[in-house]
Chain A
Protein backbone atom coordinates (compact mmCIF):
# COMPACT_ATOMS: atom_id res chain seq x y z
CA UNK A 1 0.00 0.00 0.00
CA UNK A 2 1.42 3.37 -0.95
CA UNK A 3 1.84 6.15 1.59
CA UNK A 4 -0.97 8.04 -0.18
CA UNK A 5 -3.38 5.16 0.37
CA UNK A 6 -2.38 4.99 4.02
CA UNK A 7 -3.00 8.70 4.46
CA UNK A 8 -6.40 8.28 2.81
CA UNK A 9 -7.30 5.46 5.18
CA UNK A 10 -6.25 7.51 8.17
CA UNK A 11 -8.20 10.50 6.88
CA UNK A 12 -11.27 8.37 6.34
CA UNK A 13 -11.17 7.22 9.94
CA UNK A 14 -9.99 10.44 11.65
CA UNK A 15 -11.12 13.15 9.23
CA UNK A 16 -11.15 15.99 11.73
CA UNK A 17 -7.86 15.00 13.37
CA UNK A 18 -5.48 15.13 10.40
CA UNK A 19 -4.08 18.66 10.15
CA UNK A 20 -1.46 18.38 7.47
CA UNK A 21 0.32 15.90 5.20
CA UNK A 22 3.77 16.69 3.84
CA UNK A 23 5.96 14.69 1.51
CA UNK A 24 9.68 15.44 1.50
CA UNK A 25 12.44 13.32 -0.08
CA UNK A 26 9.99 10.45 -0.45
CA UNK A 27 8.98 10.43 3.21
CA UNK A 28 5.47 11.17 4.36
CA UNK A 29 4.78 13.15 7.51
CA UNK A 30 1.25 13.36 8.89
CA UNK A 31 0.45 16.03 11.44
CA UNK A 32 -2.49 15.21 13.70
CA UNK A 33 -4.21 16.73 16.73
CA UNK A 34 -2.84 15.47 20.01
CA UNK A 35 -6.31 14.74 21.46
CA UNK A 36 -6.81 11.29 19.95
CA UNK A 37 -3.17 10.33 19.55
CA UNK A 38 -3.63 7.00 21.34
CA UNK A 39 -6.54 6.03 19.08
CA UNK A 40 -4.63 7.09 16.00
CA UNK A 41 -1.56 5.10 17.02
CA UNK A 42 -3.67 2.06 17.85
CA UNK A 43 -5.30 2.35 14.40
CA UNK A 44 -1.87 2.67 12.75
CA UNK A 45 -0.69 -0.45 14.55
CA UNK A 46 -3.75 -2.68 14.26
CA UNK A 47 -5.31 -1.71 10.94
CA UNK A 48 -2.34 -0.43 8.96
CA UNK A 49 0.33 -2.76 10.32
CA UNK A 50 2.84 -0.27 11.76
CA UNK A 51 3.93 -2.67 14.46
CA UNK A 52 7.23 -1.05 15.39
CA UNK A 53 7.62 2.36 16.95
CA UNK A 54 11.15 3.12 15.82
CA UNK A 55 11.55 6.38 17.55
CA UNK A 56 9.71 9.02 19.47
CA UNK A 57 11.05 12.48 20.17
CA UNK A 58 10.13 16.08 20.75
CA UNK A 59 11.12 19.11 18.66
CA UNK A 60 11.14 22.61 20.11
CA UNK A 61 9.96 25.30 17.66
CA UNK A 62 10.48 28.14 20.12
CA UNK A 63 8.72 31.32 19.04
CA UNK A 64 6.01 29.46 17.16
CA UNK A 65 2.67 28.46 18.50
CA UNK A 66 2.16 25.67 19.42
CA UNK A 67 5.75 25.48 20.57
CA UNK A 68 6.47 21.74 20.58
CA UNK A 69 6.00 18.87 18.21
CA UNK A 70 6.04 15.24 19.34
CA UNK A 71 7.26 13.03 16.52
CA UNK A 72 6.53 9.31 16.08
CA UNK A 73 8.62 7.42 13.53
CA UNK A 74 6.73 4.24 12.68
CA UNK A 75 7.81 1.17 10.77
CA UNK A 76 5.87 -1.71 9.30
CA UNK A 77 8.01 -4.84 9.54
CA UNK A 78 5.78 -6.78 7.12
CA UNK A 79 5.79 -4.30 4.25
CA UNK A 80 9.07 -2.59 5.32
CA UNK A 81 7.54 0.86 5.11
CA UNK A 82 8.10 3.94 7.19
CA UNK A 83 5.77 6.79 8.03
CA UNK A 84 5.95 9.69 10.42
CA UNK A 85 3.24 11.10 12.65
CA UNK A 86 3.55 14.42 14.42
CA UNK A 87 1.37 16.05 17.05
CA UNK A 88 1.68 19.68 18.11
CA UNK A 89 1.86 20.41 21.85
CA UNK A 90 1.40 23.89 23.29
CA UNK A 91 3.90 25.40 25.72
CA UNK A 92 1.42 26.36 28.46
CA UNK A 93 -0.12 22.90 28.45
CA UNK A 94 2.88 20.76 27.53
CA UNK A 95 1.45 17.29 27.77
CA UNK A 96 0.17 14.52 25.54
CA UNK A 97 -1.23 11.06 26.23
CA UNK A 98 1.26 8.24 26.48
CA UNK A 99 1.42 5.67 23.69
CA UNK A 100 3.27 3.18 25.90
CA UNK A 101 -0.01 1.26 26.01
CA UNK A 102 0.23 0.83 22.23
CA UNK A 103 3.95 0.03 22.01
CA UNK A 104 5.83 -0.73 25.25
CA UNK A 105 8.97 0.68 23.68
CA UNK A 106 7.50 4.16 24.04
CA UNK A 107 8.15 3.97 27.78
CA UNK A 108 11.81 5.01 27.72
CA UNK A 109 11.43 7.24 24.67
CA UNK A 110 8.76 9.24 26.49
CA UNK A 111 10.83 9.41 29.65
CA UNK A 112 13.67 10.79 27.58
CA UNK A 113 11.38 13.27 25.87
CA UNK A 114 10.16 14.56 29.23
CA UNK A 115 13.66 14.62 30.67
CA UNK A 116 15.28 16.57 27.85
CA UNK A 117 12.36 18.49 26.34
CA UNK A 118 9.93 18.90 29.23
CA UNK A 119 6.86 17.42 27.54
CA UNK A 120 4.74 15.48 30.00
CA UNK A 121 3.07 12.21 29.00
CA UNK A 122 -0.29 11.63 30.68
CA UNK A 123 -0.84 8.22 32.29
CA UNK A 124 2.77 7.19 31.78
CA UNK A 125 3.56 4.20 34.03
CA UNK A 126 7.00 5.34 35.20
CA UNK A 127 7.65 9.04 34.59
CA UNK A 128 11.13 9.76 35.91
CA UNK A 129 14.18 11.42 34.45
CA UNK A 130 16.27 8.98 32.48
CA UNK A 131 19.48 10.58 31.19
CA UNK A 132 19.86 13.57 33.52
CA UNK A 133 20.28 13.14 37.30
CA UNK A 134 17.02 12.88 39.27
CA UNK A 135 17.50 16.30 40.91
CA UNK A 136 18.35 18.16 37.70
CA UNK A 137 16.48 21.37 37.01
CA UNK A 138 15.36 22.33 33.54
CA UNK A 139 15.15 20.47 30.25
CA UNK A 140 18.41 20.70 28.27
CA UNK A 141 17.08 20.21 24.74
CA UNK A 142 14.78 23.21 24.93
CA UNK A 143 15.95 26.02 22.70
CA UNK A 144 16.05 28.50 25.62
CA UNK A 145 18.43 26.26 27.58
CA UNK A 146 22.03 27.43 27.05
CA UNK A 147 24.35 24.94 25.37
CA UNK A 148 27.14 25.53 27.92
CA UNK A 149 24.77 24.77 30.79
CA UNK A 150 23.01 27.00 33.31
CA UNK A 151 24.85 29.82 35.14
CA UNK A 152 27.94 29.68 32.95
CA UNK A 153 29.42 32.16 30.53
CA UNK A 154 29.16 31.11 26.88
CA UNK A 155 32.36 29.74 25.40
CA UNK A 156 34.13 32.54 23.54
CA UNK A 157 36.65 30.49 21.62
CA UNK A 158 40.33 30.06 22.38
CA UNK A 159 42.12 33.15 23.64
CA UNK A 160 45.45 32.47 21.96
Chain B
Protein backbone atom coordinates (compact mmCIF):
# COMPACT_ATOMS: atom_id res chain seq x y z
CA UNK B 1 0.00 0.00 0.00
CA UNK B 2 1.27 3.40 -0.84
CA UNK B 3 1.54 5.74 2.08
CA UNK B 4 0.20 9.28 1.90
CA UNK B 5 2.82 11.41 0.26
CA UNK B 6 3.23 15.08 -0.44
CA UNK B 7 4.93 14.51 -3.73
CA UNK B 8 3.71 16.59 -6.67
CA UNK B 9 3.00 15.05 -10.03
CA UNK B 10 4.12 16.56 -13.33
CA UNK B 11 1.66 16.17 -16.16
CA UNK B 12 2.22 16.95 -19.78
CA UNK B 13 -0.73 18.52 -21.54
CA UNK B 14 -0.46 18.90 -25.30
CA UNK B 15 0.86 19.68 -27.86
CA UNK B 16 -1.59 17.05 -29.19
CA UNK B 17 -4.62 17.77 -27.07
CA UNK B 18 -7.99 19.02 -28.30
CA UNK B 19 -8.42 21.54 -25.48
CA UNK B 20 -5.17 23.36 -26.09
CA UNK B 21 -6.59 24.88 -29.31
CA UNK B 22 -3.56 24.00 -31.39
CA UNK B 23 -0.04 22.93 -30.66
CA UNK B 24 0.32 24.40 -27.21
CA UNK B 25 2.17 22.34 -24.62
CA UNK B 26 1.65 22.91 -20.91
CA UNK B 27 3.78 21.30 -18.25
CA UNK B 28 1.58 21.17 -15.17
CA UNK B 29 2.86 20.43 -11.71
CA UNK B 30 -0.05 19.06 -9.72
CA UNK B 31 -0.68 18.52 -6.07
CA UNK B 32 -3.71 16.29 -6.29
CA UNK B 33 -6.04 18.28 -8.52
CA UNK B 34 -4.51 21.63 -7.68
CA UNK B 35 -2.14 23.21 -10.18
CA UNK B 36 1.05 24.30 -8.43
CA UNK B 37 2.89 25.49 -11.47
CA UNK B 38 2.05 25.82 -15.14
CA UNK B 39 4.73 26.28 -17.79
CA UNK B 40 3.60 26.93 -21.37
CA UNK B 41 5.84 25.80 -24.22
CA UNK B 42 5.19 27.39 -27.57
CA UNK B 43 6.90 27.56 -30.94
CA UNK B 44 5.72 24.28 -32.51
CA UNK B 45 4.08 26.24 -35.33
CA UNK B 46 6.89 28.74 -35.88
CA UNK B 47 7.22 29.44 -39.60
CA UNK B 48 9.43 32.48 -39.48
CA UNK B 49 6.91 34.95 -40.88
CA UNK B 50 8.95 37.95 -39.73
CA UNK B 51 12.12 36.60 -41.33
CA UNK B 52 10.31 35.73 -44.57
CA UNK B 53 8.84 39.23 -44.72
CA UNK B 54 12.29 40.76 -44.95
CA UNK B 55 12.77 38.92 -48.23
CA UNK B 56 9.50 39.82 -49.91
CA UNK B 57 7.99 42.91 -51.42
CA UNK B 58 5.25 44.64 -49.45
CA UNK B 59 2.43 43.13 -51.52
CA UNK B 60 3.83 39.61 -51.23
CA UNK B 61 3.49 39.70 -47.45
CA UNK B 62 -0.33 39.98 -47.39
CA UNK B 63 -0.88 36.21 -47.89
CA UNK B 64 1.52 35.50 -45.02
CA UNK B 65 -0.62 37.58 -42.68
CA UNK B 66 -3.67 35.38 -43.42
CA UNK B 67 -1.87 32.55 -41.75
CA UNK B 68 -1.19 34.29 -38.45
CA UNK B 69 -4.56 34.17 -36.76
CA UNK B 70 -6.16 31.82 -39.27
CA UNK B 71 -9.54 32.19 -37.57
CA UNK B 72 -9.57 35.92 -38.29
CA UNK B 73 -7.60 36.35 -41.53
CA UNK B 74 -9.13 39.66 -42.61
CA UNK B 75 -8.25 41.37 -39.34
CA UNK B 76 -4.63 40.44 -39.97
CA UNK B 77 -4.85 41.70 -43.56
CA UNK B 78 -6.39 44.92 -42.31
CA UNK B 79 -3.69 45.61 -39.72
CA UNK B 80 -0.97 44.96 -42.24
CA UNK B 81 -2.33 47.06 -45.09
CA UNK B 82 -3.06 49.93 -42.70
CA UNK B 83 0.52 49.75 -41.47
CA UNK B 84 1.92 49.87 -45.00
CA UNK B 85 -0.43 52.72 -45.93
CA UNK B 86 0.74 54.66 -42.90
CA UNK B 87 4.35 54.01 -43.85
CA UNK B 88 3.64 55.29 -47.36
CA UNK B 89 1.63 58.24 -46.04
CA UNK B 90 -1.45 57.42 -48.13
CA UNK B 91 -3.85 56.76 -45.25
CA UNK B 92 -6.04 59.72 -46.28
CA UNK B 93 -6.22 58.64 -49.91
CA UNK B 94 -8.11 55.42 -49.30
CA UNK B 95 -11.54 55.70 -50.97
CA UNK B 96 -14.59 55.66 -48.75
CA UNK B 97 -16.06 52.53 -50.29
CA UNK B 98 -12.89 50.56 -49.62
CA UNK B 99 -12.91 51.66 -45.98
CA UNK B 100 -16.55 50.70 -45.55
CA UNK B 101 -16.02 47.27 -47.10
CA UNK B 102 -12.98 46.78 -44.89
CA UNK B 103 -15.06 47.55 -41.83
CA UNK B 104 -17.82 45.18 -42.93
CA UNK B 105 -15.35 42.38 -43.51
CA UNK B 106 -13.41 43.09 -40.32
CA UNK B 107 -16.60 42.92 -38.26
CA UNK B 108 -17.73 39.74 -40.01
CA UNK B 109 -14.30 38.41 -39.12
CA UNK B 110 -14.84 39.35 -35.49
CA UNK B 111 -18.11 37.41 -35.55
CA UNK B 112 -16.36 34.50 -37.24
CA UNK B 113 -13.57 34.42 -34.70
CA UNK B 114 -15.90 34.80 -31.72
CA UNK B 115 -18.14 32.01 -33.04
CA UNK B 116 -15.20 29.61 -33.13
CA UNK B 117 -14.17 30.78 -29.67
CA UNK B 118 -17.65 30.19 -28.24
CA UNK B 119 -18.05 26.85 -29.99
CA UNK B 120 -14.73 25.45 -28.77
CA UNK B 121 -14.91 27.04 -25.33
CA UNK B 122 -18.33 25.50 -24.71
CA UNK B 123 -17.26 22.16 -26.18
CA UNK B 124 -14.21 22.04 -23.90
CA UNK B 125 -16.40 22.64 -20.87
CA UNK B 126 -18.90 20.00 -21.98
CA UNK B 127 -21.71 21.85 -23.76
CA UNK B 128 -21.63 20.25 -27.16
CA UNK B 129 -24.83 21.63 -28.70
CA UNK B 130 -23.49 25.19 -28.84
CA UNK B 131 -20.65 23.99 -31.04
CA UNK B 132 -23.07 22.86 -33.75
CA UNK B 133 -25.11 26.08 -33.58
CA UNK B 134 -22.04 28.31 -33.79
CA UNK B 135 -20.52 26.45 -36.69
CA UNK B 136 -23.81 26.78 -38.57
CA UNK B 137 -23.47 30.58 -38.51
CA UNK B 138 -19.73 30.47 -39.06
CA UNK B 139 -20.34 28.45 -42.21
CA UNK B 140 -22.46 31.33 -43.48
CA UNK B 141 -19.62 33.81 -42.92
CA UNK B 142 -17.20 31.42 -44.59
CA UNK B 143 -19.50 31.38 -47.62
CA UNK B 144 -19.47 35.18 -47.68
CA UNK B 145 -15.67 35.04 -47.51
CA UNK B 146 -15.64 32.70 -50.47
CA UNK B 147 -17.86 34.96 -52.54
CA UNK B 148 -15.79 38.01 -51.71
CA UNK B 149 -12.27 36.66 -52.00
CA UNK B 150 -12.48 33.18 -53.50
CA UNK B 151 -11.11 31.55 -50.37
CA UNK B 152 -12.94 30.32 -47.30
CA UNK B 153 -10.17 30.91 -44.80
CA UNK B 154 -7.00 32.46 -46.22
CA UNK B 155 -8.77 35.42 -47.74
CA UNK B 156 -5.91 37.64 -48.98
CA UNK B 157 -8.57 40.21 -49.86
CA UNK B 158 -7.31 43.64 -48.85
CA UNK B 159 -4.63 45.40 -50.83
CA UNK B 160 -2.33 48.29 -50.09
CA UNK B 161 -4.54 51.19 -51.15
CA UNK B 162 -7.88 49.39 -51.12
CA UNK B 163 -9.34 46.00 -52.01
CA UNK B 164 -8.43 43.32 -54.51
CA UNK B 165 -11.95 43.35 -55.93
CA UNK B 166 -15.29 44.97 -55.28
CA UNK B 167 -18.08 43.09 -53.52
CA UNK B 168 -19.91 40.80 -55.96
CA UNK B 169 -23.37 41.84 -57.15
CA UNK B 170 -26.10 41.24 -54.57
CA UNK B 171 -23.78 40.23 -51.75
CA UNK B 172 -24.60 43.31 -49.68
CA UNK B 173 -28.19 42.12 -49.24
CA UNK B 174 -26.92 38.69 -48.19
CA UNK B 175 -24.60 40.25 -45.63
CA UNK B 176 -27.44 42.45 -44.42
CA UNK B 177 -29.75 39.46 -43.97
CA UNK B 178 -27.02 37.66 -42.06
CA UNK B 179 -26.22 40.62 -39.80
CA UNK B 180 -29.92 41.11 -39.07
CA UNK B 181 -30.31 37.45 -38.11
CA UNK B 182 -27.28 37.41 -35.84
CA UNK B 183 -28.77 38.95 -32.64
CA UNK B 184 -31.45 36.24 -32.57
CA UNK B 185 -28.77 33.57 -32.94
CA UNK B 186 -26.81 35.10 -30.08
CA UNK B 187 -29.94 34.94 -27.93
CA UNK B 188 -30.13 31.28 -28.88
CA UNK B 189 -26.58 30.61 -27.62
CA UNK B 190 -27.32 32.56 -24.49
CA UNK B 191 -30.42 30.44 -23.96
CA UNK B 192 -28.22 27.36 -23.98
CA UNK B 193 -25.51 28.71 -21.70
CA UNK B 194 -26.11 31.82 -19.61
CA UNK B 195 -28.65 30.37 -17.20
CA UNK B 196 -27.18 26.86 -17.31
CA UNK B 197 -26.09 25.85 -13.78
CA UNK B 198 -23.19 23.72 -15.01
CA UNK B 199 -21.95 26.52 -17.26
CA UNK B 200 -22.16 29.00 -14.39
CA UNK B 201 -20.30 26.70 -12.01
CA UNK B 202 -17.55 26.18 -14.53
CA UNK B 203 -17.11 29.85 -15.39
CA UNK B 204 -18.12 32.18 -12.54
CA UNK B 205 -15.08 33.09 -10.46
CA UNK B 206 -12.77 31.02 -12.67
CA UNK B 207 -9.58 32.52 -14.07
CA UNK B 208 -9.86 35.86 -12.34
CA UNK B 209 -7.35 38.58 -13.10
CA UNK B 210 -7.50 42.14 -11.82
CA UNK B 211 -7.25 45.18 -14.07
CA UNK B 212 -3.79 46.14 -12.71
CA UNK B 213 -2.42 42.63 -13.22
CA UNK B 214 -3.99 42.40 -16.66
CA UNK B 215 -2.37 45.66 -17.83
CA UNK B 216 0.93 44.69 -16.26
CA UNK B 217 1.02 41.36 -18.10
CA UNK B 218 -0.12 43.08 -21.31
CA UNK B 219 -3.58 41.56 -21.83
CA UNK B 220 -5.62 43.42 -24.44
CA UNK B 221 -8.99 43.08 -26.12
CA UNK B 222 -12.10 41.43 -24.65
CA UNK B 223 -10.11 39.83 -21.81
CA UNK B 224 -8.96 43.26 -20.63
CA UNK B 225 -12.39 44.87 -20.99
CA UNK B 226 -13.90 42.10 -18.85
CA UNK B 227 -11.51 43.27 -16.12
CA UNK B 228 -13.07 46.72 -16.20
CA UNK B 229 -10.69 48.61 -18.48
CA UNK B 230 -12.64 50.70 -20.96
CA UNK B 231 -10.35 50.67 -23.96
CA UNK B 232 -11.07 49.75 -27.55
CA UNK B 233 -8.80 50.85 -30.40
CA UNK B 234 -11.73 51.14 -32.80
CA UNK B 235 -13.15 53.94 -30.66
CA UNK B 236 -10.04 55.40 -29.04
CA UNK B 237 -7.55 55.41 -31.93
CA UNK B 238 -9.96 55.02 -34.84
CA UNK B 239 -8.77 53.65 -38.18
CA UNK B 240 -10.51 52.82 -41.44
CA UNK B 241 -13.35 55.22 -40.66
CA UNK B 242 -14.53 53.60 -37.41
CA UNK B 243 -15.27 57.06 -36.01
CA UNK B 244 -18.32 57.21 -38.32
CA UNK B 245 -20.15 54.38 -36.60
CA UNK B 246 -22.30 54.42 -33.54
CA UNK B 247 -21.44 51.46 -31.32
CA UNK B 248 -20.88 50.69 -27.69
CA UNK B 249 -17.78 49.19 -26.15
CA UNK B 250 -19.00 46.63 -23.62
CA UNK B 251 -17.11 46.65 -20.34
CA UNK B 252 -17.61 44.29 -17.39
CA UNK B 253 -15.99 44.20 -14.01
CA UNK B 254 -16.03 40.70 -12.53
CA UNK B 255 -12.75 39.74 -14.24
CA UNK B 256 -13.79 36.08 -14.59
CA UNK B 257 -14.49 33.60 -17.36
CA UNK B 258 -18.23 34.20 -17.22
CA UNK B 259 -17.83 37.95 -17.73
CA UNK B 260 -15.47 37.40 -20.62
CA UNK B 261 -18.10 35.14 -22.14
CA UNK B 262 -20.88 37.71 -21.71
CA UNK B 263 -18.66 40.49 -22.97
CA UNK B 264 -17.76 38.69 -26.17
CA UNK B 265 -21.42 38.00 -26.86
CA UNK B 266 -22.15 41.70 -26.39
CA UNK B 267 -19.34 42.49 -28.79
CA UNK B 268 -20.92 40.23 -31.38
CA UNK B 269 -24.18 42.19 -31.09
CA UNK B 270 -22.25 45.44 -31.58
CA UNK B 271 -20.48 43.96 -34.59
CA UNK B 272 -23.83 43.25 -36.25
CA UNK B 273 -24.81 46.86 -35.58
CA UNK B 274 -21.63 48.16 -37.18
CA UNK B 275 -22.10 45.93 -40.23
CA UNK B 276 -25.64 47.22 -40.76
CA UNK B 277 -24.53 50.85 -40.39
CA UNK B 278 -21.68 50.31 -42.81
CA UNK B 279 -24.04 48.72 -45.34
CA UNK B 280 -26.35 51.74 -45.03
CA UNK B 281 -23.45 54.10 -45.69
CA UNK B 282 -21.99 52.01 -48.52
CA UNK B 283 -22.06 54.03 -51.75
CA UNK B 284 -20.80 53.03 -55.18
CA UNK B 285 -17.33 54.37 -55.92
CA UNK B 286 -13.73 53.43 -56.48
CA UNK B 287 -12.19 50.72 -54.33
CA UNK B 288 -8.55 51.60 -54.92
CA UNK B 289 -6.64 54.72 -54.01
CA UNK B 290 -5.40 56.90 -56.83
CA UNK B 291 -1.70 56.31 -56.20
CA UNK B 292 -0.48 54.52 -59.34
CA UNK B 293 3.06 54.08 -58.07
CA UNK B 294 2.05 51.82 -55.21
CA UNK B 295 -1.48 50.59 -55.86
CA UNK B 296 -1.98 47.68 -58.24
CA UNK B 297 -4.18 48.83 -61.14
CA UNK B 298 -7.49 47.02 -61.76
CA UNK B 299 -7.04 43.93 -63.94
CA UNK B 300 -9.28 45.39 -66.64
CA UNK B 301 -6.97 48.37 -67.09
CA UNK B 302 -3.86 46.19 -67.23
CA UNK B 303 -5.01 44.56 -70.47
CA UNK B 304 -6.37 47.74 -72.05
CA UNK B 305 -4.08 50.54 -71.00
CA UNK B 306 -0.33 50.72 -71.52
CA UNK B 307 0.25 52.99 -68.49
CA UNK B 308 -1.52 50.54 -66.20
CA UNK B 309 0.41 47.64 -67.70
CA UNK B 310 3.69 49.40 -66.95
CA UNK B 311 2.66 50.17 -63.37
CA UNK B 312 1.45 46.62 -62.86
CA UNK B 313 4.73 45.26 -64.21
CA UNK B 314 6.83 47.58 -62.05
CA UNK B 315 4.90 46.88 -58.86
CA UNK B 316 4.87 43.10 -59.38
CA UNK B 317 8.47 42.61 -60.49
CA UNK B 318 10.13 45.28 -58.40
CA UNK B 319 7.72 46.51 -55.76
CA UNK B 320 7.41 50.02 -54.39
CA UNK B 321 9.82 51.87 -52.15
CA UNK B 322 8.44 53.61 -49.07
CA UNK B 323 10.46 56.38 -47.50
CA UNK B 324 12.91 55.29 -44.80
CA UNK B 325 11.27 55.42 -41.41
CA UNK B 326 9.39 53.38 -38.87
CA UNK B 327 5.76 53.15 -37.85
CA UNK B 328 3.53 51.11 -35.58
CA UNK B 329 -0.08 50.40 -36.41
CA UNK B 330 -2.40 48.64 -33.98
CA UNK B 331 -5.89 47.38 -34.76
CA UNK B 332 -8.54 45.89 -32.52
CA UNK B 333 -8.44 42.30 -33.72
CA UNK B 334 -11.01 39.88 -32.26
CA UNK B 335 -8.46 38.66 -29.72
CA UNK B 336 -6.95 41.99 -28.71
CA UNK B 337 -4.51 44.51 -30.03
CA UNK B 338 -2.82 43.28 -33.17
CA UNK B 339 0.13 45.51 -34.00
CA UNK B 340 2.53 45.77 -36.88
CA UNK B 341 5.83 47.57 -36.37
CA UNK B 342 7.42 48.26 -39.74
CA UNK B 343 10.90 49.61 -40.34
CA UNK B 344 11.71 50.73 -43.86
CA UNK B 345 15.19 51.50 -45.16
CA UNK B 346 13.81 52.91 -48.41
CA UNK B 347 14.04 49.63 -50.33
CA UNK B 348 11.30 47.44 -51.78
CA UNK B 349 11.33 45.04 -48.81
CA UNK B 350 10.58 45.82 -45.19
CA UNK B 351 13.82 46.13 -43.25
CA UNK B 352 12.09 44.68 -40.22
CA UNK B 353 8.52 43.70 -39.55
CA UNK B 354 7.52 42.88 -35.99
CA UNK B 355 4.08 41.50 -35.40
CA UNK B 356 2.51 42.06 -32.01
CA UNK B 357 0.11 39.13 -31.78
CA UNK B 358 -2.58 39.49 -29.11
CA UNK B 359 -2.69 35.76 -28.32
CA UNK B 360 1.05 35.62 -27.60
CA UNK B 361 0.78 38.25 -24.90
CA UNK B 362 -2.55 37.02 -23.52
CA UNK B 363 -1.23 33.48 -23.16
CA UNK B 364 1.54 34.79 -20.96
CA UNK B 365 -1.08 35.45 -18.29
CA UNK B 366 -2.14 31.80 -18.17
CA UNK B 367 0.18 30.65 -15.34
CA UNK B 368 -0.93 33.39 -12.97
CA UNK B 369 -4.59 32.70 -13.80
CA UNK B 370 -4.44 28.95 -13.10
CA UNK B 371 -1.82 28.46 -10.40
CA UNK B 372 -3.45 27.41 -7.15
CA UNK B 373 -6.64 26.46 -8.99
CA UNK B 374 -8.15 23.17 -10.15
CA UNK B 375 -6.82 21.30 -13.15
CA UNK B 376 -10.24 21.46 -14.81
CA UNK B 377 -10.06 25.26 -14.69
CA UNK B 378 -7.00 25.20 -16.94
CA UNK B 379 -9.27 24.07 -19.77
CA UNK B 380 -11.72 26.89 -19.09
CA UNK B 381 -8.93 29.48 -18.91
CA UNK B 382 -7.32 28.38 -22.18
CA UNK B 383 -10.75 28.70 -23.77
CA UNK B 384 -11.51 32.08 -22.28
CA UNK B 385 -8.17 33.58 -23.33
CA UNK B 386 -9.11 32.70 -26.93
CA UNK B 387 -5.66 31.85 -28.21
CA UNK B 388 -4.64 30.82 -31.70
CA UNK B 389 -1.24 29.22 -32.06
CA UNK B 390 -0.79 30.45 -35.61
CA UNK B 391 -0.24 33.99 -34.39
CA UNK B 392 1.54 33.02 -31.18
CA UNK B 393 4.25 31.11 -33.01
CA UNK B 394 4.18 33.13 -36.25
Residues of A participating in the B interface, judged by any CB pair closer than 8 Å: 24-25, 27, 29, 51-55, 57, 59-60, 71, 73, 75, 77, 80, 82, 84, 103-105, 107-109, 116, 129-133, 140-141, 145, 147
B339 within 8 A of A: yes
**Known A53-B218, A80-B237, A104-B216; contact A131-B328, beta-carbon cutoff 8 A:** no
State the Cβ distance, B368 to closest chain A Cβ, in Å. Answer: 9
In the complex the two chains form, is A54's CB within 8 Å of B339's CB? yes
Task: Using CB atoms, name the residue of chain A closest to B323.
Answer: A24
Interface CB pairs A-B, < 8 A, 14: A24-B325, A24-B327, A52-B215, A54-B337, A54-B339, A57-B354, A73-B356, A80-B236, A103-B218, A105-B361, A132-B43, A132-B46, A140-B48, A145-B51
Give the top 8 A-B pairs by smallest Cβ distance, nearest first.
Answer: A105-B218, A131-B43, A57-B354, A55-B356, A24-B325, A80-B236, A131-B46, A59-B352
In the complex the two chains form, is A131's CB within 8 Å of B42's CB? yes
Q: Measured between alpha carbons, how far is A9 from B54 in the docked complex, in Å?
A: 36
Cβ contacts under 8 Å, A24 to chain B: 325-327
Q: Measured between alpha carbons, how far is A53 from B352 in the docked complex, in Å?
A: 19
In the complex the two chains form, is A147's CB within 8 Å of B364's CB? no
User: Interface code B221-236, partner A: CB below 8 Å = 1, 0 otherwise?
Assistant: 0000000010100001
B382 within 8 A of A: no
Majority secondary structure of chain B interface residues (helix, strand, loop or mixed): mixed
Q: Measured between alpha carbons, how far is A80 from B367 in the docked complex, in Å?
A: 28
**Known A53-B218, A54-B330, A147-B52; contact A77-B231, beta-carbon cutoff 8 A:** yes
State the Cβ distance, B258 to closest chain A Cβ, in Å. Answer: 24
Task: Using CB atoms, name the residue of chain B closest to A27.
Answer: B327
Q: Which of B32-79 contact A (CB under 8 A)?
A: 42-43, 46, 48, 50-52, 54-55
Cβ contacts under 8 Å, B236 to chain A: 80
B393 within 8 A of A: yes
Q: Measured between alpha carbons, how far is A132 from B43 in the docked complex, in Å?
A: 6
User: Interface code B321-345, partner A: CB below 8 Å = 1, 0 otherwise?
Assistant: 0000111101000000101010100
State the Cβ distance, A149 to closest chain B Cβ, in Å. Answer: 9
B388 within 8 A of A: no
Instruction: Select one of A52, A57, A140 contacting B341, CB under 8 A.
Output: A57
B217 within 8 A of A: yes
Cβ contacts under 8 Å, A59 to chain B: 343, 351-352
Q: Measured between alpha carbons, how far is A116 from B86 in the docked complex, in Å?
A: 26
Cβ contacts under 8 Å, A25 to chain B: 86-87, 89, 325, 327
B360 within 8 A of A: yes
In the complex the two chains form, is A133's CB within 8 Å of B43's CB? yes
Cβ contacts under 8 Å, A145 to chain B: 51
State the Cβ distance, B172 to closest chain A Cβ, in Å. Answer: 33
Cβ contacts under 8 Å, A84 to chain B: 326, 328
Cβ contacts under 8 Å, B54 to chain A: 147
Cβ contacts under 8 Å, B46 to chain A: 131-132
Instruction: Select one of B42, B231, B343 contacting A130, CB under 8 A.
Output: B42
In the complex the two chains form, is A51's CB within 8 Å of B215's CB? yes
In the complex the two chains form, is A73's CB within 8 Å of B341's CB? yes
Cβ contacts under 8 Å, A133 to chain B: 43
Q: Measured between alpha carbons, how far is A74 from B343 in the docked complex, in Å?
A: 17
Instruction: Select one of A29, A105, A130, A131 contacting B217, CB under 8 A.
Output: A105
